[in-house]
């Protein structure tokens, strides 16, 4: 009987507990941590300044030739006050460092290439992110090395007001290098090596279609390059070679189906009209294949924003329209296969439509090695 009473008491208590908790659902609230720290979210980011229009994000700050280097705060869910972080440019951070997997050293960005809006950055109340604006100068855009991973802006946090500390890490050795993981038990996050490069307004992946009036070894033909759906046309990646120039990786196929690359350079004026530069007069494709007597007799074009109306995805798309004539000869020798020398003479009068598919810019990070 006593056992029955005990179970009955438990049942009543359970019902009471359930009834008291089922009447109201409340979010679980967690308080702030015991202390708040500031740090850079990633130590080795690559920021690609994307000129022109991005199809998916607002890149208006890029077109002002600016970037923002940001810091963040940890240990709080609701930042209620402004936090001010002091920092310094420390070029010695780059000493002996190389981009991992390359022979390219990390080069501190020359002081004449950028202007910092301040020597502090502020994380405003109500936010967990804040930063400092950086203006890139004309000298940066005039340097060919600004097209790839070369220059970094090296910053180190020096002090903070409004938070408890800076995440400086826990070293394992007497004179640790901030950038070398093996020197640390807990890695420091008080620094950033902010790599910056740029692409011009025409850079991107394009869908190529058009017509060619072709003469191959004296035989004339017209070739039409149009898939039923533009998104199925072959993709060509046109890359930045300067602020106003674009590389177009034009290629053909030989009789033996060997790729024959003849890259062209498009030079744009302020109205987005372009001229096509004369390519090299000869290109040694391999030990067996030589392209020679390359001649461009006509070459012009234009970039048109939203020029292709109601293109793929039901949207109007940017396009480059090209009109050019090119001729060349091909000599192929395959002695190991005991094949005779093959000689080709070709000319093309081409009208191209290059429809922009995407800008080819994505988030990027790097790692470093010390040499």
Residue 35: the pLDDT is: 78
Residue 4 lies in a domain: no
Place 208 in a pLDDT band, splitting at 50, 70 and 90: very high
Identify which has the larger pLDDT, 106 or 338.
106
Alpha-carbon dihedral of residues 237, 243, 245, 250, nearest 10 degrees? -10
Residue 32 lies in a domain: no
Residue 124 lies in a domain: yes
Residue 3 has pLDDT above 80, yes or no: no
Distance CA 352, CA 342 (A): 29
Same domain, 129 and 183: yes
Same domain, 210 and 328: yes
Residue 2 has pLDDT above 50, yes or no: no
What does the DSSP 8-state code read for residue 22? H
Query: Which two tokens mark 312?
Result: 């793929």
Cβ–Cβ < 8 Å for 125, 80: yes
Identify which has the larger pLDDT, 56 or 211.
211
* pLDDT, tens digit, 9 for 90 and up, residues 136-174: 999 999 999 999 999 999 999 999 999 999 999 999 999
Distance CA 331, CA 335 (A): 13
For residue 199, what are the contacts with CB-CB under 8 A and spacing of at least 6?
48, 49, 50, 51, 147, 239, 240, 359, 360, 361
CATH number, domain of 319, equals 2.40.128.420
Residue whose pair of structure tokens reads 């004296």 in the numeric block: 218
Map residue 94 onto helix, strand or coil: helix
Cβ–Cβ < 8 Å for 112, 139: yes
Cα of first residue to Cα of last residue in the chain, in angstroms, is: 82
Residue 89 lies in a domain: yes
Distance CA 14, CA 3 (A): 17
Query: Which two tokens mark 299?
Result: 């070459």
Distance CA 36, CA 157 (A): 15
Same domain, 123 and 59: yes
Place 362 in a pLDDT band, splitting at 50, 70 and 90: very high
Residue 238 has pLDDT above 50, yes or no: yes
Domain extent, residue 110, equals 37-199
Residue 302 lies in a domain: yes
pTM higher than 0.75 for the full model?
yes
Residue 160: the pLDDT is: 97
Same domain, 216 and 231: yes
Domain boundary at 199, 225, 260, which? 199
Cβ–Cβ < 8 Å for 49, 136: yes
Same domain, 254 and 310: yes
C-alpha distance from residue 38 to each of 76, 144, 157, 194, 220 (Å): 11, 35, 9, 17, 69
Same domain, 234 and 174: no
Beta bridge pairs of residue 235:
207
Q: By C-alpha distance, which of 83, 101, 261 is closest to 166? A: 83
Count how many domains the chain has: 2
Cβ–Cβ < 8 Å for 298, 323: yes
Residue 299 has pLDDT above 50, yes or no: yes
Residue 28: the pLDDT is: 54
What does the DSSP 8-state code read for residue 280? -
Domain boundary at 181, 199, 217, which? 199
Cβ–Cβ < 8 Å for 140, 114: yes
Residue 27: the pLDDT is: 59
Same domain, 71 and 177: yes
Distance CA 225, CA 350 (A): 11
Same domain, 187 and 45: yes
Residue 23 has pLDDT above 60, yes or no: no
Map residue 110 onto helix, strand or coil: coil
Cβ–Cβ < 8 Å for 323, 300: yes
Residue 25: the pLDDT is: 58
Same domain, 190 and 67: yes
Query: Which two tokens mark 197?
Result: 């490069």
Distance CA 255, CA 330 (A): 10
Same domain, 48 and 102: yes
Same domain, 342 and 302: yes
Beta bridge pairs of residue 159:
86
Q: How far is CA 8 from the centre of its chain?
A: 68
Same domain, 211 and 287: yes
Average pLDDT for 226-244: 97
Which ranges of the chain would DSSP assign to H, the alpha helix? 2-22, 60-63, 138-141
Domain boundary at 199, 219, 240, which? 199
Instruction: Let me know if 276 is exposed, middle or buried by CB neighbors in 10 A (0-12, 13-18, 19+).
Output: buried
Residue 18 lies in a domain: no
């Amino acid at each position: 009987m006593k056992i029955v009473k005990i179970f009955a008491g438990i049942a009543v208590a359970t019902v009471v507990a359930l009834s008291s908790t089922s009447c109201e659902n409340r979010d679980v609230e967690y308080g702030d941590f015991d202390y708040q720290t500031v740090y850079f979210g990633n130590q080795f980011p690559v920021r690609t300044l994307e000129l022109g229009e991005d199809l998916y994000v607002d890149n208006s700050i890029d077109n002002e030739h600016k970037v923002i280097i940001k810091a963040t705060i940890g240990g709080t869910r609701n930042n209620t006050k402004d936090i001010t972080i002091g920092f310094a440019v420390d070029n010695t951070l780059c000493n002996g460092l190389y981009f991992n997997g390359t022979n390219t050293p990390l080069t501190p960005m020359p002081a004449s290439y950028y202007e910092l809006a301040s020597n502090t950055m502020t994380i405003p109340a109500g936010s967990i992110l804040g930063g400092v604006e950086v203006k890139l100068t004309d000298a940066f855009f005039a340097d060919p090395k600004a097209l790839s991973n070369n220059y970094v802006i090296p910053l180190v946090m020096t002090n903070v007001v409004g938070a408890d500390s800076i995440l400086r890490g826990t070293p394992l050795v007497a004179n640790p290098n901030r950038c070398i993981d093996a020197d640390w038990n807990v890695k420091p996050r008080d620094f950033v090596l902010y790599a910056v490069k740029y692409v011009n307004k025409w850079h991107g992946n394009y869908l190529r279609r058009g017509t060619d009036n072709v003469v191959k070894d004296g035989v004339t033909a017209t070739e039409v390059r149009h898939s039923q759906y533009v998104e199925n046309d072959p993709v060509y990646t046109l890359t930045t070679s300067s602020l106003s120039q674009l590389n177009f990786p034009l290629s053909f196929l030989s009789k033996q189906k060997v790729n024959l690359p003849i890259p062209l350079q498009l030079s744009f004026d302020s109205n987005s009209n372009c001229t096509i530069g004369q390519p090299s007069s000869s290109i040694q494709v391999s030990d067996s294949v030589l392209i020679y007597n390359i001649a461009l007799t006509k070459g012009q074009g234009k970039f048109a924003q939203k020029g292709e109306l109601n293109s793929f995805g039901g949207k109007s798309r940017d396009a480059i329209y090209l009109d050019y004539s090119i001729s060349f000869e091909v000599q192929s020798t395959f002695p190991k296969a005991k094949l005779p020398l093959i000689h080709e003479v070709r000319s093309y009068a081409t009208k191209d439509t290059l429809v922009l598919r995407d800008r080819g810019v994505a988030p990027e990070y790097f790692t470093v090695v010390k040499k």
